[in-house]
Amino acid sequence: MKNITQKLYLKYTYIFQKYGVKSVCFGLFLMMGSVFAQTSPLTLNKEEYFEKTGVNILAFSNWYDGLFSDSKISGIEVIHHGVRTVTNGDVRLNATPEQWDAIPTFVRREVDRENNRIDTYEKYPDYDFEYMIRAERDEDEVILSVHLDEPIPEELKGKAGFNLEFIPSAYAEKTYYMDGEGGNFPLYPHSSMDKDTSGYTAPKPFAEGKTLVVAPGDPKRKITIISDEAKLMLHDGRDKAQNGWFVVRSLLPENKTGKVLQWRLNVNSTPGWSRKPVIGHSQVGYHPNQEKVAVIELDKNDSPASRATLYKLNEMGEKVEKHTAALSNWGQYTRYKYLYFDFSEVKEEGLYVISYKDETTAPFKINEDVYEKAWHPTNDVFFPVQMDHMLVNEAYRVWHGASHLDDALQAPVNHEHFDLYAQGPTTDTEYEPGEHIPGLNIGGWYDAGDYDIRTQTQYYVVSHLAHAYEDFNLQRDQTLVDYDAKYVDLHNPDGKPDILQQIEHGTLGLIAQHRTLGRAIPGIIVPDISQYTHLGDGLTMTDNLIYDKEMDPLETDGYKSGKFDDRWAFTSKSTPLNYGSIAALAAASRVLKGYNDELAEECINTAINVWKEEHSKEPDLFHHGNTTGGTLEDEELKAAVELLLSTKDEMYATRIKEMWPTIDKNFNLHAGRVMKILTYMDEDFKQKLKNRVKDYKNEIAEHRKENPYGVPIGRRGWAGNSQIVSYAINNYHLHKAFPDLIDKEEVFKGLNYLYGTHPDSDISFVSGVGTKSKKVAYGMNRADFSFIAGGVVPGVLILKPDFPENKEDWPFLWGENEYVVNVGASYIYLVNAVRDLLNNQ
């Protein structure tokens, strides 16, 4: 230790003297804090990141996924005492890049274990600019450096710089030292802004120097950056966009090659630190007759206890011990260890908590009615709030006005939109690019935390709500819907089942496309990013007047205006999308009978006619992003199933039998729906299906080996709650048909996962449902760090190589926190499926 101390003393003394830090004493303070706080060496571990106690420094383990440009998951990242606090360490072209600003192209990543370094090669093709970023261990620090074979291009001088982003939720209201001068990270942005000759604005740095100490008073967040030559500049990205982070930046020097920039990164480690255990359990609670297993998540360095205890809370607030049991060891998943605490034998109704070591959960219920109200917030609040083309009121609050009444203009040809839409070489309509398409300004929901009408989402919601109404007779009425007034009022019963009203609303949006254009279209969305990033009331995105290019921008006659703010309709033909749409229309036709007979008849006739038309010609297979439907075979099968259920016509059953290979190949997708048509199928089909279910049972068993939760946890850039809910719904239908093969617990596991039995935390992923639920989410009110009751977020994202994350203090990570209406619809179905199993067992 003495030798290391002397070496560090010399190194830091030289650095502080060279770069003018106000006193060597300050430098010695930093050095000694580093020496004596770090008790475990920094290593390049087998997962290919740098690690010591409480500290992980990742070097391009993750990459911009390309789905929505910069997702704040890439480059140099720091996971600090169990929390990812730093990301996007990379060369960028702006001080505080926004989501759609230019990002580099990944070339390759090389790990050199012998020399404890990771080299990542990247380029900006548009500028013919290539570079390499090296992350190299030096004792207890990581040296970050940028290397160039050629000097930076002329057009990037003064623009290209190395950035490192710090999340505001971890650092707002904390302090920093820059070259010995203290300051604080503001709770709300208020930087001075700079504007260049082109009109581009950017926040000026609020601190500059060569040595930055972040959060010196917080050992769990303290990070030191020392720049060898380049000036460090500290910016507040929130001045540019609400989802911005604090950015430390150094410009790349001009006319230099080789190692052109170097930082020393020292991330503080707390001796003996270990992440607190997480007791994963259902925040909603449990029915007395279901299995009750808490999954306890432990730091890999934690020493597990042997037992946990379930306490009942009596009316005096006292804890009464009800069950203590030995814990079973599941093993390791990602970076954590897992234990099981089984308290299934407890059936007495009441309020309970679980205690393990020093951790005790929030109270939860064991009760026969535990799921009776669990779907109400999604029905009563979330879906009404998401309704487009309507003013939505809740007591003293207006969620939004009647927006987008000026829908929509024909999208331009050969155009790729920034949000996964595209228009092909023709409009495939009678309308010219930019021409108003009448009749589309009715029905539909805001897709998610944004405001587009994505047809693929819309028909998914209509189908699932129709099945929920059909299978469970959901008669709840808490919402007034008045189409003449374009008015929705929450908590105001109007004598009509809410689910039927939502089905009608979605169906009106789908049928409008067929009425106007004769088919389904990919969707409707704003043309400009400045509108797309809009937060708040959707009404303020447009003036609700039809755009007239002959008018001046501020001119209006009360019906039209010269303001180009109308949404675009993307209209390229897609046979898969058409099939998906008519599947929903066919399902809606069944439940709308007796409620809106005229619409029900139009829906089934449209579905039949579109089916005939699509089978009379070659399919249209225009495909782009996630807006043009699934595969041709998958979407056709959906349509065949719903048309068979609605018409009982044997020709659809014949087509379904012909499509057995599609069912077999994508059984996870189709299992639930084919269970609904068994009565129309012959014995050969039924036997093939039963044999397939036997294989599926083995696939279910594999999930129990993959992770301790026994559900399919995905590893894509969008977390997996949607697929887990769909998985549980499939298991419900399979259990109903084959109870000897598929256990009902395989249904309950999916719901328990949503409610808190999942990695990273124990919160419910359904806002407003359960004792502790998601309160900071990516909805239209995300800038307020708030939530919409009943919304379901995507959930736990598994960052490569091994880090489960769902941030509850930062709403802007859409892959973890964005509400999407299709998951809300399938959630309503799943809760009622669980109720059905428990109430009718």
What's the CATH number where 316 sits? 2.60.40.10
Q: Locate 273 and state its tokens.
A: 């630190």
Q: Is the pLDDT of residue 54 over 50?
A: yes
User: 718, exposed or middle or buried, with CB in 10 Å at 0-12, 13-18, 19+?
Assistant: buried
Residue 230 has pLDDT above 90, yes or no: yes
Q: Which two tokens stand for residue 193?
A: 């802004």
Note whether 171 and 70 are same-domain residues. yes
Residue 65, pLDDT score? 67
What band does 24 get if pLDDT is binned at 50, 70 and 90? very low
What pLDDT shows up at residue 199? 87
All residues at 6 or more sequence positions from 609 whose CB lies less than 8 Å from its CB, including other chains: none
Mean pLDDT of the 161-172 span: 98
Residue ranges with strand state E in 151-256: 161-166, 175-178, 181-184, 193-195, 201-203, 207-209, 211-214, 223-227, 232-236, 246-251
Residue 192 CB burial class (10 angstroms; 0-12, 13-18, ≥19): exposed
Alpha-carbon distance 355 to 358, whole Å?
Answer: 7
119 in any annotated domain: yes
Whether 54 maps to a domain, the answer reads: yes
pLDDT at 515: 98
Q: What is the CATH number of the domain that holds 243?
A: 2.70.98
**70 or 119: which carries more pLDDT confidence?**
119
Mean pLDDT score, 196-202: 89
- What b/e sequence results for 494-530 when a residue is b if at least 16 CB atoms lie within 10 Å of its CB, and e otherwise? eeebbbbbbbbbbbbbbbbbbebbbbbbbbbbbbeee
Q: State which residues form the domain around 4.
A: 1-37
Nearest-angstrom CA–CA distance, 662 and 294: 37
Residue 213 lies in a domain: yes
Asked which of 625, 646, 663 is the last residue of a domain, the reply is 625
Where among 366, 383, 416 does a domain terminate? 366
Query: What secondary structure does DSSP assign to 253-298, as a single string?
Result: PTT--EEEEEEEEEE---TT--PPPEEE--SSEE-TTS--EEEEEE
Same domain as 317, residue 244: no
Both 589 and 503 in a single domain? yes
What are the helix (H) ranges across 327-431?
A: 376-377, 383-385
* Nearest C-alpha neighbor of 16 from the set 6, 4, 5, 30: 30
Whether residue 283 sits in one domain with residue 229? no
Q: Does any domain span residue 750?
A: yes
Parallel/antiparallel/unpaired status of strands 211-214 and 246-251: unpaired
pLDDT tens column, 722-738:
999 999 999 999 999 99
- Kindly state whether residue 701 falls inside one of the protein's structural domains: yes
Q: What is the pLDDT of residues 453-485, one digit of tens each?
A: 999 999 999 999 999 999 999 999 999 999 999
Block residue for tokens 């630190």: 273
The answer as to whether 375 is a domain residue is: no
Residue that is written with structure tokens 């999942």 in the block: 758
Residue 15 has pLDDT above 50, yes or no: no
Mean pLDDT score of the chain, rounded to an integer?
94
Instruction: Provide the pLDDT for residue 39.
Output: 53
Q: In terms of Cα–Cα distance, which of 194, 264, 202, 213 is closest to 236?
A: 202
Q: Does one domain contain both 307 and 186?
A: no
Q: Which of 307, 342, 366 is the last residue of a domain?
A: 366
- Tens of pLDDT, residue by residue over 328-385, are 999 999 999 999 999 999 999 999 999 999 999 999 999 999 999 999 999 999 999 9
Same domain, 448 and 579: yes
Which tens digits make up the pLDDT trace of 636-658?
999 999 999 999 999 999 999 99
473 three-state secondary structure: coil
Which tens digits make up the pLDDT trace of 768-817?
999 999 999 999 999 999 999 999 999 999 999 999 999 999 999 999 99
Q: Which two tokens stand for residue 771?
A: 């004792």
Q: How many residues does the chain have?
A: 841
Rg (alpha carbons) of the chain, rounded to whole number: 29
Which structure tokens are listed for 110? 């090389």
Same domain, 420 and 507: yes
For the chain, what percent of residues have pLDDT higher than 90? 91
Say what the pTM is. Answer: 0.94
Structure confidence by residue, pLDDT tens digits, 516-572: 999 999 999 999 988 999 898 999 999 999 999 999 999 999 999 999 999 999 999
Structure tokens at 207: 């601190």
Does some domain include residue 677? Answer: no
Judged against a pLDDT cut of 50, whether residue 31 lies above it is answered with no
Whether residues 592 and 549 fall in one domain: yes
In terms of domains, do 579 and 554 share one?
yes
781 and 807 within one domain? yes
pLDDT digit string, tens, across residues 56-65? 999 999 988 6
CA dihedral 18, 21, 26, 28 (to 10 degrees): -10
Q: Comparing C-alpha atoms, which of 685, 480, 440 is closest to residue 569?
A: 440
Cβ–Cβ < 8 Å for 403, 488: no
Strands (E), 300-396: 307-313, 319-326, 328-333, 336-342, 350-356, 359-360, 364-366, 391-394
- 113: pLDDT confidence band, cut at 50, 70 and 90? very high
DSSP character string of 678-720: GGGS-HHHHHHHHHHHHHHHHHHHHHHHH-TT-S----SSS-S
Q: Does residue 188 share a domain with residue 48?
A: yes
Burial 372-395 (b: 16+ CB within 10 A, else e): eebbbbbbbbbbbbbbbbbbbbbe
Structurally, how many domains does the chain consist of? 5
pLDDT of residue 530: 87
Q: Residue 815 has which token pair?
A: 């892959």
Residue 485 domain flag: no
In terms of domains, do 362 and 464 share one?
no
